[in-house]
């Protein structure tokens, strides 16, 4: 869900409180999320790359993978689809070269 900047700040503040609420975020302001953003360090926040669209053929499969991965993460289990060094560099706003 896309949010206004003020809502993003509100969600970040809520995540920092640590009151049991968990967040899965794929849209950031600014994007990519800054390397020094506090939200990257919060244990109750799952950050995922934003995907603007996907095909009808792949949509159901993508959704299944996404839900399974979120269940693993929030259940405290090892995730299957870890981010590659190149993907991590991109998310941090760094050069992947």
User: How confident is residue 15, by pLDDT bands cut at 50, 70 and 90?
Assistant: confident
Summarised one tens digit per residue, pLDDT across range 44-65 is: 888 877 665 667 777 788 888 8
Residue ranges per domain, the chain?
5-91
| 24 vs 64, residue with greater confidence | 64
DSSP-derived secondary structure for 1-67: ----HHHHHHHHHHHHHTSS--EEE---SSSSPPTT-GGGG-TTEEE--------TTTHHHHHHHHH
Measured in residues, the chain has a length of 97
User: How confident is residue 89, by pLDDT bands cut at 50, 70 and 90?
Assistant: confident
State pTM to two decimals.
Answer: 0.45
| 21 vs 36, residue with greater confidence | 36
CB 71 within 8 A of CB 13: no
Residue 95 pLDDT > 50? yes
| Residue pointed to by tokens 């794929």 | 26
**Mean pLDDT of all residues in 34-52:** 80
What is the distance in angstroms between the CA of the first residue and the CA of the last residue of the chain?
A: 31
Q: Which residues pair with 46 in a beta bridge?
A: 24
């Amino acid at each position: 869900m896309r949010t206004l900047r003020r809502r993003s700040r509100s969600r970040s503040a809520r995540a920092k409180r640590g009151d049991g609420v968990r967040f899965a975020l794929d849209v950031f302001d600014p994007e990519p999320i800054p390397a020094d953003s506090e939200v990257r360090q919060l244990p109750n926040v799952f950050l995922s790359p934003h995907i603007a669209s996907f095909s009808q053929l792949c949509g159901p499969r993508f959704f299944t993978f996404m839900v399974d991965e979120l269940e693993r993460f929030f259940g405290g289990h090892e995730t299957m689809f870890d981010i590659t060094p190149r993907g991590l560099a991109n998310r941090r706003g760094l050069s992947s070269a």
